[in-house]
Structure 1
Amino acid sequence: MGRAVVIGAGIGGLTAAVALQRRGWDVTVFERAASLEPVGSGLAVAANALKALDTIGVGDEIRELSAIQGEAGIRRADGRWLVKTTEEAASARHGDSVVLLRRADLVDALSARLEPGTVRLNTTVKEVDPETGGVIFETRGPETASGPHPAADHATAPEPHDGTGRESQLEAELVVAADGIHSPVRAALFPGHPGPRYAGVTSWRLLIPGGGVPGQAFESWGEGKVFGVMPLAGGLAYCYATDAVPAGGGGGDQRAELLRLFGDWHAPIPALLASASPENVLRNDVHHLATPLPAMHRGKVVLLGDAAHAMTPNMGQGACQAIEDAVVLAHVAGTGAGPAAYTAARLERTTGIVARSASICRVTRLRNPLAVRLRDAVVTLTWRLAPARAAGAMDDVLGWTPPSTPAKPPAPQTPTS
């Protein structure tokens, strides 16, 4: 195998790095942040992503770190259940559970499986040549906490730049752009693409110690608003919310804003918000790639995760699809197929999931009381009158299975002094 450069050390980038190393690639990960510590939020890892993580030896650890989703479903703002299911039913149908955990726990589990020195922190990729695989990058501050980066011997000598960083270049047989929803690499590869678009909702995320109902995860829908609660291991609750408001808001006490919006909703939402710390509330406008890319690669460069198919959070598949991308990419690269085979394997599937998630987002944005009542009635009747059909709506997503080619063990490392 050859050299691979991964741009971005989020969940998708780290999964790709682990998967490629297991197949014998020499991997370098460039991360512009100073640490791998992610934002303080939770994550649902669905059956399809757990199967993908199993292929790189991480699945069982994630199951052990996680709270298993027990009862789950959709409720109204007054607490009445519109849809309700159990972990046992979901597991029986899709072959695995949905597990709930902090994003930080998954990041830690992935990074622990990388060879020492793989991730280069404080490093920004300035330019990528899709034809040669050339990557120009700039490092500011310490590169790693454990010594020099292994790619340093293969990079060009640092050149004087502007006095603020060291600019270098290396070439790779494969460049993986996992650089997020506002991906500079995507913009350079597909300059005519319109890029991410505001989905019509802003979101809040927060972790609350000692919150939630153990074993019960739910998402409640109101008039243009959503509030979700996921119990995590260790007594944590991950809460998230959305509201259909113009983009660009924020500022001030966001916990107070959440109390204004959801303080009269059903228990335990008001109590959770009352016990939250204002400084732990994260607010972000939701953007997605409403227009699919023509391809998920160009030359030696592939796009992965949000850089390739950013979606609204309504199906809980953003991180899960990035994990799928990573293991499929490693499989394709391990068979000797080119990046075009990766596009062929991933573009149609992810495009469909992006569109479905956006359609659910539009349904949650309804504000007209009559439209909301009709929506709720349709959801409830569909579940009661055709439960098998309703339960099977996610079969094509959660029933996905990863490529079966066995991974090669990492090459032995030469001891260093």
Structure 2
Amino acid sequence: MSDRNALVVGAGIGGLAAACALASVGWQVAVYEQAKVLREVGAGLSMAPNAVRAMEWLGLGPALRERAQGQGIGVRRRSGSWLVRLTDRDLTERYGNPMYAMHRASLHQLLLETAVGAGVRVHTGRRARSVRPDPAVTFEETVCADLVVAADGVHSRLRSALFPDHPGASYAGYVCWRGIGSVAAGSRLARPAVWTDSWGRGVRFGSALLVDSRVFWYASKAGPEGAYAGHTLADVMSIFDGWHEPVRALMASSKPGTMLRNDIYFLKHPLPSFVAGRVALLGDAAHAVTPDIGQGACLAIEDAVMLAVALSSWNDVDDALRDYDLTRRPRTQKLARISGGSARVQQASHPVSAGLRDAVVRLMPKRAYLSAGSEALSWRPPEPARW
């Protein structure tokens, strides 16, 4: 066991993935989380082929497949007609894996169990007050380490402290609601399973089958920050009057009081670096993307793997962090730009722009649509045996 120690701020998906990755290459790791109770709030998320390869690098490929549902991807009009439909086989032949849908809490629990099993110490109720690049983090007391990983989310306090001139996260122009539909409602989805986005004008609805036959659903609507804050489930359902089945049925089957609402933010303005001294930013703290490309959790897990790879490749931590920054920043910042543009297209509300969007997707050859995701989905890490 190495005597080098890392302090990870944030026990979300990215922070726990970083803890697992660093522990796997011999670092002693402690995770500090501001929440008093460690639980992952959320509904569902996508584990795209690139993220599956990152999980395999961590040795968690079989566990992921036990807890996630593989499926294809598709886009429909609000009437229900398909604009494009790719099967899980289409994705597997092109990228080696289908799209997996997973409950966020299940992924969080898997990473937490793996981290703790590897000897990672997890401290809750510890709010980071300040950070120094030397590096050290101040909670109630100051804790020093050989490396600090800032994984404290899209509105990262550590990012603001390290890069005070950066404007922070930008609003993407829409609100998103999320929930979990029942098994009975899930039985009404198309088979074989397809992660489906349905598009209207300034409004979208999506659904994905989970491994336990429940359904992760999400709905979005364009509007200013804070819009629709008082909307109940019934109010959200009314937005989708006249849409194809089972859109409203999925929402109606959710347990009362479980719907989540979020304004959507991303890092429109790129950071000059993901590293400050011996502090490395990771996940949403470094390069938050919108949900439109299904890569938020995926890129955070990639970051974790590549940080561990860099630290295993270089004897000097500073050299390793320069490598991490040069490796991760171009890819993730490009995908953040793509996600912002995708949000504008998918949330198009003008009849002409929405109609053009639908026509382009409908006329696009299946092979071209499949290849359009190559920028994100083709990524793969180095072979674990090297490390």
Residue 123 (structure 1) aligns with: 126
| Cα distance change of structure 1 residues 407 and 27 upon mapping to structure 2, 3 Å threshold | farther
- Write out per-residue CA displacement over residues 240-285 of structure 1, whole angstroms, 9 at most, x where no aligned residue: 1111111112443521121111132100001112222341111110
Contact 1:133-1:172 within 8 A present in 2 as well: yes
Q: Counterpart amino acid of 1:7?
A: V
In the TM superposition, what is the alpha-carbon distance from 1:372 to its structure 2 partner? 1.5
2:23–2:119 contact (8 Å) kept in structure 1:
no
Matches within 5 A, 1:99-178: 99-114=100-115, 115-116=118-119, 118-130=121-133, 132-137=134-139, 167-178=140-151
Among residues 6, 11, 15, which one is paired with 2:8 in the alignment?
A: 6
CA 1:304 to 1:117, structure 2 compared with 1: closer, same or farther past 3 Å? closer
User: Is the CA contact 1:263–1:269 (under 8 Å) kept in the aligned structure 2?
Assistant: no
1:340 corresponds to which of 322, 325, 349: 322
TM (norm. structure 1) is 0.87
State the SS of the aligned residue for 2:385: coil
Report Cα offsets for 1:20-39 as digits up to 9, x if no partner.
Answer: 00111010000111223211
Establish whether residue 240 from structure 1 lines up as the match of residue 218 from structure 2: yes
Q: Is it true that 1:263 corresponds to 2:241 in the alignment? A: yes
Report what 2:21 is aligned to. Answer: 19
C-alpha separation in 2, matches of 1:329 and 1:359: 28
> 2:351 is aligned with what amino acid?
P
Q: Secondary structure at the match of 1:284?
A: strand
* Paired letter, 2:136: G
Residue identity matched to 1:63:
R
Aligned-pair CA distance for 1:208 = 1.5
Q: What are the residue-to-residue correspondences of 1:317-332 with 2, within 5 Å?
A: 317-332=295-310
Deviations 1:156-175 (A, max 9, x none): xxxxxxxxxxx222211110
1:393 maps onto 2:372 in alignment: yes
Q: Residue in 2 aligned with 1:292? A: 270
2:62 aligned residue: 60
1:359 to 341, 354, 358: 341
What is the CA–CA distance in structure 1 between the aligned matches of 2:174 and 2:256, rounded to whole Å? 21
Q: For 2:352, which of 349, 370, 392 is the aligned residue?
A: 370
- SS of the equivalent of 2:106 reads helix
The separation in 1 between residues aligned to 2:296 and 2:229, in whole angstroms, is 26
Show structure 2 runs of 5+ residues with no match. none
| Shift, 1:407, TM fit | 7.3
Structure whose alpha-carbon radius of gyration is higher: 1
Residue 402 in structure 1 maps to residue 381 in structure 2: yes
- The answer to whether the Cα contact below 8 Å between 1:22 and 1:407 also exists between their aligned partners in 2 is no
**2:69 corresponds to 1:96:** no
Query: CA distance change for structure 1 residues 407 and 179 in 2, over 3 Å: closer, same or farther?
Result: farther
Contact 1:253 1:278 in 2 (8 A): no
Distance 1:401 1:79 in 2: 35
Structure-to-structure mapping, 1:176-325, within 5 angstroms: 176-210=149-183, 211-212=185-186, 213=189, 215-325=193-303
Output the CA distance in 1 between the equivalents of 2:180 and 2:78: 21
TM-superposed CA distance for 1:404, in Å, is: 2.5
| TM-superposed deviation, 1:191 | 0.7
Quote the Cα distance in structure 2 between the aligned partners of 1:272 and 1:7. 36
Cα distance in 1, alignment partners of residues 213 and 136 from structure 2: 47
Kept in 2: contact 1:254–1:278 (CA 8 A): no
Asked whether the 8 Å contact 2:8–2:29 carries over to 1, the reply is: yes
Letter in 1 for 2:194: Q
- Structure-2 residue corresponding to 1:74: 75
- Structure 2-normalised TM-score? 0.93
Alpha-carbon contact 2:29-2:120 (below 8 Å) kept: no
Contact 1:208 1:275 in 2 (8 A): yes
Alpha-carbon distance in 2 for matches of 1:181, 1:42: 18
Worse-superposed segment, 293-302 or 167-176? 167-176
Q: Percent identity?
A: 41
Give the C-alpha shift of residue 65 in structure 1.
1.1
In structure 2, what is the Cα distance between the partners aligned to 1:92 and 1:264?
36
Q: CA 1:263/1:272 → structure 2, altered by over 3 Å: closer, same or farther?
A: farther
**Residue deviations 1:165-224, cap 9 Å, x none?**
xx2222111100000001011001111111111110011010122133252321001001
Consecutive aligned runs of 4 or more in structure 1 exceeding 6 Å deviation? none
SS in structure 2 opposite 1:12? helix
Name the CA distance, whole Å, in 1 between partners of 2:85 and 2:330. 30
Any idea what SS the aligned residue of 1:202 has?
strand
Shift, 1:11, TM fit = 0.6
How many angstroms apart in 2 are the aligned matches of 1:247 and 1:204? 14
CA distance in 2, matches of 1:75, 1:254: 25
Is the contact made by 1:23 and 1:407 (CA closer than 8 Å) also made in structure 2?
no
Report SS of the residue matched to 1:338: helix
